Structure 1
């Protein structure tokens, strides 16, 4: 049996700081996705919500919260949580239900309403949570963590501040063309360099913001898509949601002393590389087959790391790929043509779903001024809390 499911609809609530409930954003995105699919909510057999720890009890049962907002109609309900990988795991759950024959049509929804400033672990002290330990015992909040990562790339691979600025300039130019993006203004390298230092060597414009927003997808079986007249829909070909391999104790950081991958499996593979490998193996594609990629650019330096972990280039060659224009619009493999988190900020449960929305529009040829010519295969990539990682491969 084919592992493909069709993407019949995609919809978003624009990112920003709107000051309203995450349920409102998710319901708006869901209605947009249903309208895009040409379906009524009553035709949906199941809803999968990506949870948000900041949303209180409704956020912990996000699937039910969205179902209530849309109107009780008897749909099967599921909620998943994996921080930044939540959206991809929601897609995975929906796909499994369709392939198991539990539902023909599944609505996937993620939304968040975020506080000002960088994220803190929610729910009080969590001494068994490595992020809580990193924040509280080391003082290594996310910006500090990103700064250490950037500094290492400079030391080991020769990346420069100019390289990091190029990532922001590229993504901001795309975000300016995206009506769902929070930041819709092109940025120059000089403006990046002039922005405040947050965590040396990274400036304010090197680091993504926190945002409100929502995204939704209508997934269905291929048979249902054909019955509704979608002869050649965008299809989800693979969903990778993986964890590190024992005896991994460091989820993704390399061993600076030996310049080897600490916490890697015996083959020397990092968590991020294993996310990509698993997706490629399931999809039957490789890096050379990709038309575009949407990656988790929490910082400009981290986008360069994803180039390498997705196999777009060799280790240490991410900045060279960027300088040569390979990942820019019109290049061989454009990356973050949506504008990325640089233009959106983090609405955590929604962002992996939003990435698939972008792939859907690109593969349909419906992305307007952001369109990647001839797009046929796309991949998304995220790294979530406590070792969750995710990637989705979509094809047309």
Structure 2
């Protein structure tokens, strides 16, 4: 049986700092997606909400929260939390229901009203969580964590702060063309270099903000799409939600021999494993991609994704960037939406927003940021406690 499901509709609430409830953002995105799909709310069989831990009890039961806001009509509901991967896991849940024959049409919604500044660790003490341990034992907030990756790239591959700045310049140029983006002003390398240092070598413009925003998708079975006259819909072909493999669980570090790992084959870095699983399920490879949407929590981390997605070899990401291959008009644009550099992070919405961008690009309706002839794209992100995801969409 084919693993494809159709993307009938995509919708977003613009990112920003609006000071309103996440429910408002998600409901607006859901209505936009339904209108885009030409599907009535009463025709939706199930709602999957990506949870937000900052939204109180309604945030923990996001599926039911959005169903209530749209008007109870008897749809099944599910609620999913997976940190930064929440949106993609919500897509995976919807896809599973469709492929199992439990639903023909599923609405997927994620939205957040984020605090200003760093995200504080949530959920109490978690001594088994490597991310909690680096918060508590190292005092490493997310920007400090990103800076460690940046320093490693500088030491191992010779990347420079000027390379990192070019990522921001590229993404800001794309974001300036996106009406849903929060930041829509191009920036120069000098402006990145002049912004305040947050965690050396990363500056303020190297790191994404926290934002409010919402995104939604209407997914259906391929049979439903055909019956309703959608001739060649965008299709979700793969969703990877793999976990790390011991002993290389979090950082891409050299293997350390232990009794339990003795004789074992080295595990791939986690982000590479996320992408590999998606490619294998979709039956495509990096060379088949028209574009990619990745979690650019920092400029240096975007470069890591180039290598993890197989767009280039290890240590070659900065060269790929400098050549213009990942910019609009390049061989494989990365973050044609503008990425987190232009949106900021609305945690449960962003992975859904990434698929919205793939949908518009594969339809050929992305306007001035359109990737010509786009036929296949991948999204990728990594969340706390071993959550990660990649989604492959094709047309």
Give the TM interval when normalised to the shorter protein.
over 0.9
Deviation of 1:122 (Å): 2.0
The aligned counterpart of 2:381 is 382
Aligned to 2:38: 38
Q: Relative to structure 2, which stretch is displaced further, 104-113 or 122-131?
A: 122-131
Give the Cα separation in 2 of the matches to 1:249 and 1:56: 34
Residue 252 of structure 2 corresponds to which residue in structure 1? Answer: 253
TM superposition shift of 1:249: 5.7
Partner of 2:97: 97
Q: Could you list the per-position Cα deviations for residues 305-349 of structure 1 after superposition, in whole angstroms to 9, with x for gaps in the alignment? A: 000000000000000000111111111100000000000010000
Report the alpha carbon displacement of residue 254 of structure 1 after superposing the two structures with TM: 1.9
Residue aligning to 2:329: 330
| Number of residue-to-residue matches in the alignment | 391
- Who is 1:116 aligned against? 116
8 Å contact kept, 2:381–2:390:
yes
Question: C-alpha distance in 2, partners of 1:375/1:362?
Answer: 6
Name the CA distance, whole Å, in 2 between partners of 1:50 and 1:178.
Answer: 23
Task: Summarize the alignment of residues 343-354 of structure 1 with structure 2, pairs less than 5 Å apart.
Answer: 343-354=342-353
The match for 1:170 is 170
1:355 aligns with 2:344: no
| CA distance in structure 1 between the aligned counterparts of 2:265 and 2:65, rounded to whole angstroms | 43
Q: Which residue does the alignment assign to 1:303? A: 302
2:340 match: 341
Tell me how far apart the structure 1 counterparts of residues 199 and 341 of structure 2 sit (CA, whole Å): 16
The equivalent residue for 2:237 is: 237
| Shift of residue 251, structure 1, vs aligned partner | 1.5
RMSD: 1.6
* CA distance in structure 1 between the partners assigned to 2:255 and 2:301 by the alignment: 17
The answer for the alignment partner of 1:142 in structure 2 is 142
Q: CA deviation at 1:257?
A: 9.8
> Is the counterpart of residue 272 in structure 1 residue 271 in structure 2?
yes
SS in 1 for 2:20: coil
Distance 1:36 1:234 in 2: 13
| TM-superposed deviation, 1:267 | 4.1
- Asked whether the 8 Å contact 2:249–2:269 carries over to 1, the reply is no
Distance 2:368 2:180 in 1: 13
- Checking the alignment, whether the CA contact within 8 Å between 1:121 and 1:131 is kept in structure 2 is no
- Tell me which residue corresponds to 2:193: 193
Deviation at 1:188, TM superposition (A): 0.3
The reply on whether 1:68 has 2:68 as its aligned counterpart is: yes
State the alpha-carbon separation in 2 of the partners of residues 128 and 257 from structure 1: 19
Deviation at 1:252, TM superposition (A): 3.0
C-alpha contact 1:52 1:59 (8 A) present in aligned 2: yes
Structure 1 residue 384, shift from structure 2 partner:
1.2
TM-score (norm 2): 0.96
For 1:15, the equivalent position in structure 2 comes to: 15
8 Å Cα contact 2:130-2:250 kept in structure 1:
no
SS at match of 2:12: strand
Alpha carbons 1:252, 1:272 under 8 Å: kept: no
Deviation digits for residues 60-105 of structure 1 (CA, Å, limit 9, x no counterpart) = 1110111110110000100111100111110000000000000000
Runs of 4+ in 1 over 3 A off after TM superposition: 123-129, 255-258
Measured after TM superposition, the shift of residue 388 of structure 1 is 1.1
User: Which residue of 2 is the match for residue 320 of structure 1?
Assistant: 319
Classify the secondary structure of the residue corresponding to 1:174: helix
Partner Cα distance (1:69, 1:87) in 2: 19
TM-aligned CA deviation for residue 123 of structure 1: 3.7
SS across alignment from 1:54: coil
Q: Shift of residue 250 of structure 1? A: 3.4
Find the counterpart in structure 1 of residue 207 from structure 2.
Answer: 207
- Matched residue, 2:57: 57
Structure 2 distance, partners of 1:257, 1:200, is 28
Contact kept? 1:237, 1:394, Cα under 8 Å: yes
Contact 1:6 1:235 in 2 (8 A): yes
Q: 2:80 & 2:392 partners in 1: Cα distance?
A: 20
Q: Which residue of 1 aligns with 2:228?
A: 228
Query: Equivalents in 1 of 2:250, 2:45: separation in Å?
Result: 37
With the length of structure 1 as denominator, give the TM-score of the two structures.
0.96
* Residues 1:300 and 1:277: Cα distance change in structure 2 (over 3 Å): same
Deviation at 1:256, TM superposition (A): 9.8
TM-superposed deviation, 1:170: 0.2
